[in-house]
Amino acid sequence: MAEEFEPKIIAFLCKWCSSAGSDLAGVSRMKYPPNVVPITVMCSGSVSPLYIFNAFQKGADGVLVSGCHPGDCHYIKGNFYARRRIALVKELIEYIGLEPQRFKMSWVSAAEGKKYTKIIQDFVQELKPLGPQKKLRREK
Amino acid sequence: MVNLEEIKKEAKNILEEGKVKYIIGYAKSSNALMAAPTFVKKPEDIDKLIWDPTCFQNLVKFLLDEKRKKAREKEPDIRPVGIFVKGCDSRAINVLLQEKFITREDVYIIGLSCEDLGVLDEKKIFKKLKGEEPEKIEFDQRKNIVISTKEKTIKIPLKEILAERCLECTSSFPVISDVFWGDRNNRSPKEPFKSLEQIESLSQEKKWDFWQQQLSKCIRCYACRSVCPMCYCDECVVDSINLAITADTTAEEKSQKIKWIEKSPESSENFGYHLVRAMHLAGRCIDCSECERVCPVDIPLRLLNKKLEKVAKELFDYKAGLDPEQPSLVSSFKDEDPEDFIR
Amino acid sequence: MKKRTGVFVCHCGINIAGTVDVKNVAEELMKHSDVTHSEDYVYMCSDPGQKLIENSIKEHNLDSVVVACCSPNLHETTFRNCAKAGGINEFQCEIANIREQCSWVHKDKLKATEKAIKITRSTVEHVVKNKSLEPISIPVTRRGLVIGGGIAGIQAALDMANSGYEVILVEKSPSIGGHMIQLSETFPTLDCSQCILTPKMVDVSKHPKIKLLTYSEVQEITGYVGNFKAKILKKPTYVDPDKCTLCDKCVDVCPIVVPNEFDIGLTGRKAIYIPFPQAIPATYTLDIVNCPGLLPIACGKCIDVCEPGAIDYDMKPEIIEEEIGSIVLATGYDLYDKENMKEYGYGKYADVLDGLQFERLLSASGPTMGEVLRPSDHKVPKEVVFIQCVGSRDPELHCAYCSKICCMYTAKHAMLYKHHVPDGQAYIFYIDIRSGGKDYEEFVQRAKEEDGVVYLRGKVSKIFEENGKITVWGADTLAGKDIEINADMVVLATAMRPTKGAEEFAKKLKVSLDKDGFLSEAHPKLRPVESVTSGLFFAGAAQAPKDIPEAVAQASGAAAKAIIILSQDHLFHSPIVAEVSLNLCTGCGMCVDVCPYDALSLKDNKAEVNEVLCEGCGTCSATCLRAAIEVKNITPGQIYEMIDASVGG
């Protein structure tokens, strides 16, 4: 039997809320699939569209950008700029035909280990039926 | 009504008074359907200036060259450059002002309203001519275009061969100018984003098929980038080699150039290039459609930029180039920006 | 140039090694071309573990280190110090989090190991492009600012001044003292509030290190930790305190009477007034909003009678600019607006009072000279109903939080009422009694047992006036029956809210507020007096409802934190800050627009970073279309490589 497809997810987590939230998931020993590799950035506002396109080009099956809830940004308002920028990226990649399920943004606070866990669980479940992301992926 | 004679008179005046260094305008070219950019330096040359629907080029791009030239000169002539601008072109000037690439004193804006018309779409006319070469054109009452070829003369209603962007234009007059001709009537086209509808209505896979087919044609000649008045960076982020090398550029800096996008015209790289370009034009593209016009392989590039123009309008109530004082689309936010896509 | 990176994989006992094959991680990483040395150890954070890293750096001549272990929030500092001890720059050490983000959340050992390898590889990619950096040194202005002159602000100012630092204390009203000076007696000791506070107020006024600015408001704070600049508006009082002899003649002749804020409207005051006898500074204030006009033609009675010529109608608002190193915010609280409490008849019936009004009634210096009398007819109330949680603990309609002090002050109110009116009856409607605190529970029991206060567990459904009485309908949920009390007076323990205008003020100071509008601390447990902006500290009820001892304790805590800054010649700021590539920058200013700290500006048409203001968030970097600005040691070039490593094969 063929092995089940395991999607690769790159998660850009802000250092202060979402990365801390994912730490809390760990501290609380919650379980989620190992498909996600986190890259901790200072702020969701620092996630350039280039990072997202690049992750897809390098073969990510899904990309998550996660920051602090509005009003809770460690950097006061970085996440508001992220919200606008990511909205544009999301609209654009859906418009060119990439499955919308492949790109997500979330607000995860340092206290939301459970929410982070659920987001990853759901993300993996949503990506599995789609199969590998080949549209933007570079030919090797 | 825009009166060419009055424009010429003004052009002559400002040249004679030495108010401007020179004037960038339009003149007839060997291609009957397309006016060519012209640089009028002497008052006696003003008669070559024209103004009609063949003036579709966006001359603002030449301001970028002017700025670079001035930067190289030891004792540059700091007088402004006179420039013919349409509504869309004027918004390009506003974006350049907003981004402080030029200053208001750098330009003397000769604003020309497209009024109820607009400019021609060459490709639409070629289709109508079915391969015949136009030799001469005339405009009849601003309603029709009369085209003569070797074989025949045909009359086409202007509305049929206007550029798509003109049909969807909401402000056909310059929003910034020093002198102005024509009316300032806002247009309210029923469907300002009609050209997007066809793609938007497609399924996810069909959308992909469409863009895959289109973008796989790209030969990465970068004509779109070269013609774009917003593409003025010394070095483009998608280039994989350093262009902006100065005497101070260290070997370390050169080696650190990130290859976000490879130069090879493969599907993934082409998508990478066009996605980055679209993102970088979000809130800046003023829909002059020059990228699409110059594309040698006919990629409908306007539809990429137009999409983000629509998103900016609908989600953030933002339109590029209306106010040089407002911050850019991506360097601003509102508390109430939508976030229903965020979990 | 290749780096010589050392990779150190921690077992954390079985916390990591139980799910991740740590030996395999170390072996795989050894294959990386920049990795010179790689090993695993049972507890890297232990002393021998740290020694191991230190020695390996020397032995293998490493220039950078990756420790694959727990979250960087825990041991990043430990291992950076360790790298320093080994002789390399601390910023050449990065942490790969393979515990919280890997071993603890996965079960499948094979997959967890695979992921741990990716995380560690990604961290190696990060560190190999790290630059050696030195913390940025900033000189400190050794003077403090305290905003708010209530008990918290007073305490903080005194602590800072007594440590030898100059302090500027800014209070928006004409006198310091805050709400505490309005109180009668304080729980659980029944100390007279004024008696214990006024000595501190006098200390403030006499302290050579304290510059007191009353009737003043901070309009703007710019700058950064160690080097703030404050713009303070000093409103004109139209009375020169140095000339004023406090003869009270101006008050006598003033024809204008308005509700007295100090007595929460239970009495009136004149347009020229002294808020209360012990006010600091002891002087009159002419309230320009209510004064008929400063022109002698409009009234001018006060200026006519003022013999020493202390009244000066030409006094102008003054903007005072001060440089300070650290700031304590103690802007206090207000009671929940009575507009919101119509269902309890507050504001409609004269004999329905809020807690502070009742304090004034009880106060020896209050409108009734300490006699408990009904405002409506000045009769002694024989039955008084106290209602707790008015506006608090009501997420649907009012405030979701507990105002914390109401249980205690209501017990006190009931007790003091009984002391004044021994034959009266006090009823308290409550949801729960929260009496945590030293001697607090004993105090509540004393109210019940010695003073016979009747506690009724339940909510009040309706209050209305009937035949000169205030009828209270409620439920006693313990007895399971409805209750009707024909009371003479009702006292509402209304919720504590942040001071009016706090929201606007917070925006000016760029401090964030929590969902209820209280100041948001940097960490709810470990940094309770700090704001996220360094150099800015919180004290008192502005941060959350609290009682006097808590406010005082927090004020001393905040003062200590503020002093930590003032006591240093230089501060050190993280060098993880933005950097501009001048040859790429076009001077568009988009980075300047987005910078949350005003750390960016345009100079000669290029972006310039103020490294002291920059916090390294990188929003500028993502916004820049020219890739002309990036944050040191977390550059797009590093992210590029990290994506590669994270996606893996």
pLDDT tens digits for range B297-314 = 999 999 999 999 999 999
Candidate from C583, C602, C637 with C-beta closest to B246: C583
Q: For C71-111, how does the pLDDT look when each residue is reduced to its tens digit (9 = 90+)? A: 999 999 999 999 999 999 999 999 999 999 999 999 999 99
Candidate from C587, C591, C627 with C-beta closest to B100: C587
Neighbours of B29 (CB within 10 A): 14
Q: Which CATH number fits domain C5-134: 3.40.190, 1.20.120, 3.40.1350, 3.40.50?
A: 3.40.50
Which C residues, 48 through 87, put their C-beta within 8 Å of a C-beta on chain A?
71-73
At B244, is the pLDDT very low, low, confident or very high (cuts 50, 70, 90)?
Answer: low
Which part of chain C is CATH 3.40.50?
Answer: 5-134
pLDDT score recorded for residue C213: 97
pLDDT score recorded for residue B245: 61
Q: Which amino acid is at C14?
A: I
pLDDT score recorded for residue C298: 82
Contact B335 A92 (CB under 8 A): no
Candidate from C107, C618, C643 with C-beta closest to A31: C107
pLDDT score recorded for residue A85: 97
At B246, is the pLDDT very low, low, confident or very high (cuts 50, 70, 90)?
Answer: low
At B242, is the pLDDT very low, low, confident or very high (cuts 50, 70, 90)?
Answer: low
A9-130 CATH = 3.40.50
pLDDT score recorded for residue C341: 82
Which C residues, 292 through 321, put their C-beta within 8 Å of a C-beta on chain A?
none
More confident residue, C192 or A140: C192
Query: Cα distance from B198 to chain C (closest Cα, Å)?
Result: 30
Contact C100 A31 (CB under 8 A): no
Mutate to test the interface with A, among B208, B279, B280 (most CBs of A within 10 A): B279
Candidate from A53, A88, A135 with C-beta closest to B276: A53
Q: For B100-153, how does the pLDDT look when each residue is reduced to its tens digit (9 = 90+)? A: 999 999 999 999 999 888 999 988 998 888 888 888 899 888 889 999 988 889
CB neighbour burial string for A64-82, b if at least 16 within 10 angstroms, e if fewer: bbbbbbbebbbbbbbbbbb
pLDDT score recorded for residue C649: 63
Lowest mean pLDDT among B84-98, B160-174, B299-313: B160-174
- Rounded to 5 degrees, φ, ψ at B71 are -65, -30
What distance, in Å, lies between the first and last C-alpha atoms of chain C? 24
Contact B343 A106 (CB under 8 A): yes
Q: For C583-641, how does the pLDDT look when each residue is reduced to its tens digit (9 = 90+)? A: 899 999 999 999 998 899 999 999 999 998 899 999 999 999 999 999 999 999 999 99
Locate the domains of chain A by residue range.
9-130
**B interface toward A at CB cutoff 8 Å?**
199-200, 204-212, 237, 260, 262, 266-269, 271-272, 275-276, 278-279, 282, 304, 307-308, 311-312, 315-316, 329-333, 335, 337-339, 341-343
Contact C583 B99 (CB under 8 A): no
Rounded CA-CA distance C552/C394 in Å is 28
pLDDT score recorded for residue C535: 92
pLDDT score recorded for residue C343: 84
State pTM to two decimals: 0.79
Q: Which runs of consecutive H residues, i.e. helices, occur in C31-105? A: 47-59, 72-85
Q: Is residue C246 pLDDT above 70, yes or no?
A: yes
At C222, is the pLDDT very low, low, confident or very high (cuts 50, 70, 90)?
Answer: confident
At C503, is the pLDDT very low, low, confident or very high (cuts 50, 70, 90)?
Answer: confident
Candidate from C588, C636, C640 with C-beta closest to B99: C588
Task: Name subunits touching B (3+ CB pairs < 8 A).
Answer: A, C
Contact C618 A43 (CB under 8 A): yes
pLDDT score recorded for residue C342: 83
Mean pLDDT for chain C overall: 94
Neighbours of B188 (CB within 10 A): 8
CA B202 to chain centre: 28
Contacts of B237 in chain C (CB under 8 A): 625-627
Residue B90 · residue B111 · CB < 8 Å: yes
> What number of CA atoms fall less than 13 Å from residue C146's CA on the CB side?
40
The two structure tokens encoding residue C204: 């403030």
Contacts of C621 in chain A (CB under 8 A): 46, 48
Q: Is residue C296 pLDDT above 70, yes or no?
A: no
Which part of chain C is CATH 3.50.50.60?
Answer: 136-235+317-332+500-570, 336-497
pLDDT score recorded for residue C507: 81
> Which homologous superfamily is C136-235+317-332+500-570 in?
FAD/NAD(P)-binding domain (3.50.50.60)
Closest CA to A102 of A140, A136, A67: A136
Which B residues, 8 through 47, put their C-beta within 8 Å of a C-beta on chain C?
none
Residue A102 · residue A61 · CB < 8 Å: yes
Element (H, E) at C361: helix C355-362
Contact C111 A85 (CB under 8 A): no
* Cα–Cα distance list, A13 to A27, A43, A44, A87 (Å): 17, 8, 7, 17
Which C residues, 586 through 615, put their C-beta within 8 Å of a C-beta on chain B?
586-591, 593-594, 602, 605
pLDDT score recorded for residue C315: 92
Element (H, E) at C10: strand C5-10
A64 touches chain B (CB under 8 A): no
Mean pLDDT for B289-297 is: 95
Rounded CA-CA distance C174/C281 in Å is 8
Candidate from B271, B329, B342 with C-beta closest to A107: B342
Contact A37 C104 (CB under 8 A): no
Mean pLDDT for chain B overall: 92
Residue C302 · residue C311 · CB < 8 Å: yes
Q: What fold does the segment set C577-631 form as a domain?
A: Alpha-Beta Plaits (3.30.70)
Mean pLDDT for B217-240 is: 92
At C454, is the pLDDT very low, low, confident or very high (cuts 50, 70, 90)?
Answer: very high
Q: Is residue B251 pLDDT above 80, yes or no?
A: no
The DSSP 8-state label assigned to residue C103 in this structure reads I
By 3-state DSSP, what share of chain A in percent is helix, strand and coil, each rounded to 5? Answer: 45, 15, 40
pLDDT score recorded for residue C525: 82
Rounded CA-CA distance B313/B315 in Å is 6
Mean pLDDT for C148-156 is: 98
Q: For A103-134, how does the pLDDT look when each residue is reduced to its tens digit (9 = 90+)? A: 999 999 988 999 999 999 999 999 999 999 99
pLDDT score recorded for residue C170: 98
> Which homologous superfamily is C336-497 in?
FAD/NAD(P)-binding domain (3.50.50.60)
Contact B234 C587 (CB under 8 A): no
Q: Which amino acid is at A75?
A: Y
At B257, is the pLDDT very low, low, confident or very high (cuts 50, 70, 90)?
Answer: confident
pLDDT score recorded for residue A2: 60
Contacts of C647 in chain A (CB under 8 A): 8, 10, 37, 55, 58-60
Q: Is residue C549 pLDDT above 90, yes or no?
A: yes
Closest CA to A13 of C91, C100, C81, C103: C100
Q: Give the 3-state DSSP-derived string for chain B, with helices as H, strands as E and coil as C.
A: CCCHHHHHHHHHHHHHCCCCCCEEEEECCCCCCCCEEEEECCHHHHHHCCCCCCCCCCCCHHHHHHHHHHHHCCCCCCCCEEEEECHHHHHHHHHHHHCCCCCHHHEEEEEECCCCCCCECHHHHHHHHCCCCEEEEEEECCCEEEEEECCCEEEEEHHHHECHHHHCCCCCCCCCCCEEECCCCCCCCCCCCHHHHHHHCCCHHHHHHHHHHHHCCCCCCCHHHHHCCCCCCCCCCCCCCCCCCCCCCCHHHHHCCCCCCCCCCCHHHHHHHHHHHHHHHCCCCCCCCHHHHHCCCCCCCHHHHHHHHHHHHHHHCCCCCCCCCCCCHHHCCCCCCCCCCEC
> What number of CA atoms fall less than 13 Å from residue B302's CA on the CB side?
18
At B171, is the pLDDT very low, low, confident or very high (cuts 50, 70, 90)?
Answer: confident
Mean pLDDT for chain A overall: 95
**Is the link from the previous residue into C275 a cis peptide, with omega within 30 of 0?**
no
Query: Cα distance from C119 to chain B (closest Cα, Å)?
Result: 21
Lowest mean pLDDT among A71-85, C254-268, C510-524: C510-524
Q: Is residue B243 pLDDT above 80, yes or no?
A: no
Helix/strand/coil for A101: helix
Q: How many CB pairs under 8 A join A and C?
A: 137
pLDDT score recorded for residue C515: 81
